[in-house]
Structure 1
Amino acid sequence: MARLSAAVACLALLASCSDGPATTPPGAFIPPPIPMVEPGAQGEGEVNLVVWAGYAEKSWTDPFTKTTGCKVNAMVAGSSDEMVADVKSGQYDVVSASGDASLRLIASGDVAPIDVGKVPSYAQIYPSLKNKSWNSVAGVPYGVPHGRGANVLVYNKDKVKSPPTSLGAVFDPDPTVAGHVTVYDSPISIADAALYLMHDQPGLGIKNPYALDRPQFDAAVALLTKQQPAVGSYWSDTAAQQADFEKGGDLIGTSWQVVLNGLAHDNHKEITSIKPVEGVTGWSDTWMIAAGAKNPTCAYKWLDYITSPAVNAKVAEFFGEAPANSQACAKTTDPGFCATYHADEEAYWDNVWYWTTPTTRCLDGSDRTCVPYSEWVTAWNRIKQK
């Protein structure tokens, strides 16, 4: 209940921030006046993290502690909503926020701008990941990009009759896979439906799957509602989704590379993936420092360490994502890793729509009024209950 209350409060604040004063240019976002977090001369002895599973393993946290004297205390969150609520508790210094959480944290004043000049590894981050709508505001960075991934279309090639090429395979599925479609359990999945409609129904005028006016939003919700009877599982746990694919409960749906890694490890060669013709949604995680961080010096040390070439490469290989540090590919154990994950292939990411929190002021910069994330949450809960 505490997490729910915190999330609701954050959503309300995001809506009000995104409305802004009457003189604010369309699409502009004005964050609360949170001062930049600054490190001190000496480390505090510890740093408290909220992370995705696999981002703070002992094989790289122990060397960090030995080198810096900062003990790592990590809490694993199961969803972006959990991350937001955990940061709001005031118990954590750093969070590895995805794009569907980062803007909420900026809007609520729970994370602060950072001085990237004090994070040496920031200079090595791919330029295409810097100064984006989910990690910066008006050119001011609120964190350091960590990695990125695409929400690819995964399917069982032994069970799915025709190899899919389009997102239509999950939004207008073949009757033979009815009850076996798997969908990521998050309001941000509405963007997947919007991306499909952007190509399938161009008359709707969708230009950005996170910037939906009322008719566009209603069309995406209607598509997901129509899809619901074919859905066998709404997943949020990668291990659970992997198990469902292995048992045959899931036959087709959106997934992450980490699931494919696990399936390949278990020798399930019948499960494969494609990038649909429409492109895909995706994510780019950002290491952010809490506005009230009690250990800011250790927090800065962590941001620099975890995004440094060798460590960023190690985490990327462990988790299954493209590293954000442009020098990390030279440090991977597998020499073909970055080619597999398209780390240096900027053209691959051109039609990957990274998660970004929807706001009332349309993120595409138009003068339209868009549906804010709070209504995405309400709609998503209704979709699943149909």
Structure 2
Amino acid sequence: MKLARVLAGTAAVVLLAAACGTSDDSGGSSDSAAGFTPPKLEALKKLGTPEGALNVLAWAGYAEDGSNDPKVDWVTPYEKATGCQVNVKVFGTSDEAVSLMKTGQYDVVSASGDASLRLIAAGDVEPVTTDLVPNYADLFPFLKDQKWNSVDGVSYGVPHGWGANLLMYRTDVVTPAPTSWSAVFEDNAATKGKVTAYDSPIYIADAALYLMKTKPDLGIKNPYALDDKQFEAAVDLLKKQKANVGEYWSDYLKEVSAFKSGDSVIGTTWQVIANVAKAEGAKVDAVLPTEGATGWSDTWMVGTKSKHKTCAYKWLDHIVSPKANAQVAEYFGESPANPKACEFTADKTHCDTYHAGDAEYAKQIWYWSTPITQCLDGRTDVKCKDYSAWTQAWTEIKG
């Protein structure tokens, strides 16, 4: 609940920023499954003496030191245990994070899937020796060695937290309870003018996911890998949807307010927003539709130019330790990466609410990725639309 106030100014972009996403970002094609060949960089082989400092680049709410709320502090225990004094720089978009990491001033960064591969391709982050991160062994297996945190079997970071974009609806207006994204993409007299959608070009992936499940003849295999025909179909669906949209939400608290007032009765959301809305009296519920959903999985990564790599590794270990991971997950509103964190959440139902450890649930999520011209689904006979095309189309969709 406290997070809603903390992130009021930044929540619109948290976890899915308007990244560049051009073909140049990919690092060039190769036989790599990622579509590019990462620079040859060595991972740290052993820890040394802590260097006494750590420069952290993080999403708001990921590195709290008690300054926002004295009761919310997992930075100070780290400092006391390691002697590494933490300096935190909060960023508002993945694009900003990528730009700041190029300066070489930051030791670690919390990267979302629309930034992590760009950081790897540019050589701004390096492989991580997970054996030097003791708590890594406890993390949920389905978060490790994934396409947004590893390349060709080489790990580039430590999974931190994850979540899905859900379908929220007013239970007193939308009946029966929806089970499909058709509730927002197909005409419905009861919800006309009161549908809400996320205000970002990445929302095109939500339309693509729906078409992937309902129009198999389009051949969509990955909602972030769309050729001309597939992209046109997704854009057309969103232009059709616009007639039913009351507003595109880009403010965390405004979506809560809209559902409370009834100005919005159905649309995409995050679990934490649904929780806040319920707590404030809105008659809402949220579901993961049968088609699955888009979502996020964040990774802590080590800067190639870091001068404090022992402190960096100790941070990676600390942030996924049971107590700290519990604090972050509960404060931010996501599932923890460490199952042992569930023992330390203040709300003992938190892990159930956020489906921690539910691999089958996680499999239904298409984690945010930056669209590039090299199709992320592995196709080499066509070019896919990159993020600049998505951005242009989003402007046209909204009019």
Do the two structures share a fold, i.e. TM-score over 0.5?
A: yes
Contact 1:144 1:288 in 2 (8 A): yes
Which string of whole-angstrom CA distances, capped at 9 and with x for unpartnered residues, describes residues 227-252 of structure 1? 23433333344234333333433322
Displacement, 1:303? 0.8
Higher helix content, 1 or 2:
1
Say which SS state the counterpart of residue 100 (structure 1) adopts: coil
Q: Which residue in the other structure is 1:259 paired with?
A: 273
Q: Which residue in the other structure is 2:8 paired with?
A: none
C-alpha distance in 2 between matches for 1:88 and 1:112: 13
Say which SS state the counterpart of residue 114 (structure 2) adopts: helix
Residues 245 and 85 from structure 1, CA distance in 2 versus in 1: closer, same or farther, beyond 3 angstroms? farther
Q: Which residue in the other structure is 2:3 paired with?
A: none
Match of 1:200 among 197, 214, 220: 214
Say which SS state the counterpart of residue 151 (structure 1) adopts: strand
Q: Which residue in the other structure is 1:3 paired with?
A: none
C-alpha distance in 1 between matches for 2:376 and 2:45: 30
Question: Structure 2 counterpart of 1:114, which letter?
Answer: V
Say which SS state the counterpart of residue 221 (structure 1) adopts: helix
Match of 1:79 among 88, 93, 117: 93
Q: Which residue in the other structure is 1:97 paired with?
A: 111
Q: Which residue in the other structure is 2:58 paired with?
A: 51
Say which SS state the counterpart of residue 115 (structure 2) adopts: helix
- The more displaced of 293-302 and 177-186 is 177-186
Residues 377 and 351 from structure 1, CA distance in 2 versus in 1: closer, same or farther, beyond 3 angstroms? same
Match of 2:168 among 136, 151, 154: 154
Match of 1:337 among 324, 327, 350: 350
Residues 92 and 381 from structure 1, CA distance in 2 versus in 1: closer, same or farther, beyond 3 angstroms? farther
Count of equivalent residues: 374
- The more displaced of 175-184 and 343-352 is 175-184
Gaps of 5+ in 1: 1-5
Displacement, 1:134? 0.6
Gaps of 5+ in 2: 1-17, 66-72
Contact 1:150 1:283 in 2 (8 A): yes
Do structure 1's residue 180 and structure 2's residue 194 form an aligned pair? yes
Residues 89 and 267 from structure 1, CA distance in 2 versus in 1: closer, same or farther, beyond 3 angstroms? farther
Displacement, 1:256? 0.9
- The more displaced of 127-136 and 179-188 is 179-188
Displacement, 1:89? 4.1
Displacement, 1:324? 0.8
Say which SS state the counterpart of residue 276 (structure 1) adopts: coil
Displacement, 1:37? 5.3
Say which SS state the counterpart of residue 174 (structure 1) adopts: coil
* CA RMSD, Structure 1 to Structure 2 (Å): 2.4
Q: Which residue in the other structure is 2:305 paired with?
A: 292
The alignment's TM-score, normalised by the length of structure 2, stands at 0.85
Q: Which residue in the other structure is 2:226 paired with?
A: 212
Question: Structure 2 counterpart of 1:267, which letter?
Answer: G
Q: Which residue in the other structure is 2:24 paired with?
A: 13
Residues 323 and 219 from structure 1, CA distance in 2 versus in 1: closer, same or farther, beyond 3 angstroms? same
Residues 238 and 51 from structure 1, CA distance in 2 versus in 1: closer, same or farther, beyond 3 angstroms? farther
Q: Which residue in the other structure is 2:15 paired with?
A: none
C-alpha distance in 2 between matches for 1:190 and 1:110: 28
Matches within 5 A, 1:1-386: 8=20, 11-15=22-26, 17=27, 19-21=28-30, 24=31, 28-36=35-43, 41-58=48-65, 59-268=73-282, 270-369=283-382, 370-384=384-398, 386=399
Displacement, 1:148? 1.1
Residues 182 and 39 from structure 1, CA distance in 2 versus in 1: closer, same or farther, beyond 3 angstroms? farther
C-alpha distance in 1 between matches for 2:251 and 2:87: 22
Displacement, 1:323? 1.0
Contact 2:256 2:277 in 1 (8 A): yes
Displacement, 1:219? 0.9
Residues 232 and 56 from structure 1, CA distance in 2 versus in 1: closer, same or farther, beyond 3 angstroms? farther
Contact 1:27 1:366 in 2 (8 A): no
Question: Structure 1 counterpart of 2:225, which letter?
Answer: A
C-alpha distance in 2 between matches for 1:364 and 1:12: 15
Residues 182 and 104 from structure 1, CA distance in 2 versus in 1: closer, same or farther, beyond 3 angstroms? farther
Contact 1:97 1:286 in 2 (8 A): yes
C-alpha distance in 2 between matches for 1:27 and 1:71: 36
Residues 230 and 14 from structure 1, CA distance in 2 versus in 1: closer, same or farther, beyond 3 angstroms? same
Displacement, 1:95? 1.6
Which string of whole-angstrom CA distances, capped at 9 and with x for unpartnered residues, describes residues 189-248 of structure 1? 211111100122111011221222221112112212222343333334423433333343
Say which SS state the counterpart of residue 327 (structure 1) adopts: helix
Contact 2:23 2:372 in 1 (8 A): no
